[in-house]
Amino acid sequence: MRIPYDHNGFSLRRSDPVTTMARKGDTIRSINVAVVGLSGVEKDKGHAGVGKSCFCNRFMRPHAEDYNVDHISVLSQTDFSGRVVNNDHFLYWGEIIKTSEEGVDYQFSLIEQTEFIDDASFQPFKGGQNGAVRQKMRRDETNFRRETHLGIEKEYEQKVLPDGKLNVDGFLCVFDVSVVPSRSIEKQVEFVSAILNNLIKTKKPIVYVTTKNDEANEGYVREAHKLIQRNEFKNSIPMVESSAHDNVNIDIGFMLLAQMIDKTKVRSKVLSYTEAALVRKEIMDAASDAFMRLIRVHVTDCHAMWSQTLFGLDGTQRLFRRHIKKLKDEQLAKQVAHYMDMLPDVLHELVPGFNTLTDTDWTSIQQYLKSHPNFSQYFFERPEDLPWSECLGEDNEETRIPFDVLDTSEAETVFKNHINVLQQEQKRLEWKKQFKQLLEDTGYVTPGKHLSGVRVLFMGRECFEALSEHDCQQIYDAHQRELIENAKHNFQELLLEHADLFYHFKSIAPTGTITQDDIKEITDVLQDDFRYKILDRLDQDRKLTLFQHLGFIHYPIREHCPAFPNCQDALIERILATKAHRPTSWNHSNQWLMSSDNNQLNLLILGLNNLAENLAAKIRAQCDDDEYEIECQFYSLDYRIINGDVSLPHNSFRTSDFVPHGSFCVYSNAESFEYIRESLEKKLLSNLEQDDKLPFQGLPIVLMFLHDSAIDEKEVLRLKEDGQNLADSLQCPFMDVCLDQVTEDQLVSDALHQLSVIECIEPDIRIIMCMFCGDPYSVENVLAPLLSHQFCFLSSAHSIILETFLGDSKRKVEVIVSSFHGANAFRDELVHGFILVYSTKRKASLATLNAFSMNIPNLPIQILAVTDSGGATAFFNDDLSQILITEGILLPIGCMHIS
């Protein structure tokens, strides 16, 4: 017989007032569940049912002795109309409270929807509202048997159905996977499919449960899986494999449905029947073993009786609940202890210093932590309706600390301990600082002396007594390293101050050796100096420094320079590379370069708002018939003016009938500067697409700033700085021109000379400037007068060429800038003179200069004494400067200049 089912949908309202998910300790959440499945006469359901009643029975009465496998559905008309069934095709099993793994309490009200068969006609009774899918249950009689077993219902406690009605919140749909005579699998699949389709229309959560898996047929199991994998059911209805007889996966189906009804994010994990049965067996085996051990220990009399030996069911349940509570408390305490282990590190990160805190009250500190930018990295906050203790569990992936745990006394104790640690650390740091100062103040601590040798000097000092042995030794060792490094530096300075003593070793042949007599001669001179004696305990280090110095004198390279990595040769090359112009880099392309026998000079002038036209007019004004004299030779000038978009063909730098030899880029304000900058960038980008990768294809360029009288001084400074930066990046000359301070003749002359389009020739005069490595002055300041010269160009990595007038003649002067030890590389050069630089604040500087000058042949020497501040007044302000300036003046090697 087919079971009729209702196709009507209902807009339901729950009968209980609870509308939020209840947590442990809050109001219990009520869930109304209906269990549905194949029912009817034997030709529909076979010789046995699908297991709905056993499933409900096992859930409502999980104890083994309460489980009953006999459930009848064949009744007399009197039974069907009686108080138990009351003319309806459903049974109300009553209520039961269950707790999920997350600690959430649910009260389940359970209805089994079925069809009862008349024992006379073997047809379903007609009465009430028939249907396997009903969302509302109602009885006029409100007293019903709890967990009713038809036929033995008087053995069960009575339970009142609230208000005589009950609204269904969700459905459990049952599918039997065992073989039952007179029932085909196709019949059950068809029936359950129809039920599921009607359940979906109710829009209520559904859980699909297979029953009797302990007797499962593999083919039936596959059909059950195929059914729930249909497109209309897939991913919307979870599946649970159960066995009421073996009590496997019974509660999990109800809990999963409750979580779906409550729409919680946390869902119980569903194990397959095989896995769940194995877990169940392990639990039962462990319980049996434990119980047998308990009996073996406590029951030793063979005449003992159950009632005399054990507590009984209620007593054992109380003991069990007490044990479970103890386990939960232990788990909570373990988790809290874990958080307390984490908290000191978190406080160390968020509250690293005692001075960070303005208020050490624990409540204020919690607010400080909550407002910290990194709060969420270390803490998390739970919703108000979920206590933090309920988030515990082995499967919880949260590694941060619940913020609510800070309300515990354990957390406050951790914080107080943290404050104590901070205070002790602050005291410790102060003691370490005091001990370091004590070491610096005492003269008894010398390089190489062990702490044990001076320990008695510190006895009774608080900073020494309060620190641990490890801290004292660590501070002392660090102080010793400073002393030793300082002593080595001073000894190195002593060696440099006796440059004359070492200079003759410079000429020793590579195969020559330094004898013990040489070493004795050196040490005899040095041994009375305190800088020599201070290393008495470190004689090996002293000898090593001496031998290294001798090796550097004999074969000087910058990597072995005492001032390395600040060797003057490296500093000089960096300064010249960034501050001096590179005319040769613009002349690599012969297409622009003009030779001295060519008298045609083509000028390209780039500028916005008539700036280019005005500059061309100024140049023309200084020419006779566009001819101009450069270095005693006349050149015929031609011009190309550009003041538009340089990417357009008619604004190209080069045309078929005009090949420029040089270009002036002129600006006077922010607008015209941006035009110059953008135009040059466009040309550079276009160069990258051509074979010639030189900037502007090698065209020499001069960047020129003509002051606009309409802009203020601050803007002038900014434009000047922007222009210089652009010129530095392009490695081209920069001219800062104030028309009120220069004549047009001087402007044109300077501009044409800056182009450097004439081929370079050998310098007329070559000078070597030597500086001592490690001197306390700015090399850039010393070179500034040369680098700022109007006609100064870089001729090599370590030399510059100046074009200047000497008397009535214009000369090219090459200045080779080098360290004293690096000057040996230029001994084969034709040199006309030397500029020797020394610091008036360092004896070794003048000593090296003096020793170096002894080997200079009869050439002019200029001595430059650098005070770095004060000029000649340093003579009166510093005793050492006074001595060194006087000694420099008395040197019989040349004239002297003080800077």
Q: In sequence order, what DSSP letters do the residues of 470-498 get, joined into one string?
A: HHHHHHHHHHHHHHHHHHHHHHHHHHHHT
> Does residue 87 surpass a pLDDT of 50?
no
pLDDT greater than 70 at residue 826:
yes
Q: What is the pLDDT of residue 593?
A: 45
Burial (CB < 10 A; 0-12, 13-18, 19+), residue 867, is buried
Host H or E run for residue 89:
none
**Average pLDDT estimate for 386-407:** 71
Yes or no: say if 667 and 719 are a contact pair by the CB < 8 Å rule. yes
Q: What percent of the chain has pLDDT over 70?
A: 76
CB 752 within 8 A of CB 766: no
Q: How far apart are CA 539 and CA 533, in angstroms?
A: 9
Q: How confident is the model at residue 824 (pLDDT cuts 50, 70, 90)?
A: confident
Token code pair at residue 564? 């390395």
Per the rule left: phi > 0, alpha: psi between -120 and 50, beta: everything else, 131 is: left
- CA separation for the pair 37, 172 (Å, rounded): 8
Task: Pick the range with the lowest mean pLDDT from 116-125, 271-280, 769-778, 805-814.
Answer: 116-125
Sorting pLDDT into bands at 50, 70 and 90, what band is 150? low
Mean pLDDT of the chain, nearest integer: 79
What are 311's two structure tokens? 């507590």
Residue 763 DSSP symbol: -
Residues 636, 601: Cα–Cα separation, whole Å: 6
As a whole-number percent, the residues of the chain with pLDDT over 90 amount to 27
Given this model, what pLDDT does residue 332 score?
Answer: 83
Specify the range with the lowest mean pLDDT, choosing from 141-155, 289-303, 756-770.
141-155
Min mean pLDDT across 317-321, 438-442, 732-736 is at 317-321
Q: Are 230 and 190 in contact (CB under 8 A)?
A: no
Query: What pLDDT score does 311 carry?
Result: 54
Name the token pair of 566.
């600040």
Q: Does pLDDT of 126 surpass 60?
A: no
Cβ neighbours around 192 below 10 Å, total: 24
Smallest Cα–Cα separation from 576: which of 373, 786, 820?
Answer: 786
CB–CB of 247/214 below 8 Å? no
Q: Which of 461-475, 552-566, 738-752, 801-815 has the lowest mean pLDDT?
A: 738-752
Are 762 and 751 a contacting pair, CB within 8 Å? Answer: no
| Joined tokens for residue 312 | 């009984």
**Burial level of 7, CB count in 10 A (0-12/13-18/19+)?**
exposed
Q: Which two tokens stand for residue 881?
A: 């400067």
Q: What is the value of pTM for the model shown?
A: 0.47
Sequence-ordered alpha helix ranges (H) in 153-203: 185-201
Q: What is the mean pLDDT of residues 790-795?
A: 79
For residues 819-835, give the mean pLDDT.
87
Question: What span, in angstroms and rounded, lies between the C-alpha atoms of 462 and 749?
Answer: 77
CA distance 650 to 642: 9
Q: Report the candidate in 176, 193, 179, 76 with the shortest Cα–Cα distance to residue 132.
A: 193
pLDDT of res. 476: 94
Q: Nearest CA to 176 among 168, 184, 167, 165?
A: 184
> Is the N-terminal amide bond of 565 cis, ω within 30° of 0?
yes
Indicate whether 522 pLDDT > 50. yes
Supply the pLDDT for residue 535.
93
pLDDT score for 140: 41
Which amino acid, 501?
L
793 three-class SS: strand
Both structure tokens of 713: 């001084």
For residue 386, what pLDDT is reported?
Answer: 66
How far CA 581 is from CA of 4, 591, 783, in Å, comes to 102, 21, 14
Least confident interval from 142-146, 520-524, 593-597: 142-146
Lowest-confidence segment of 83-87, 257-261, 298-302, 305-309 by average pLDDT: 83-87
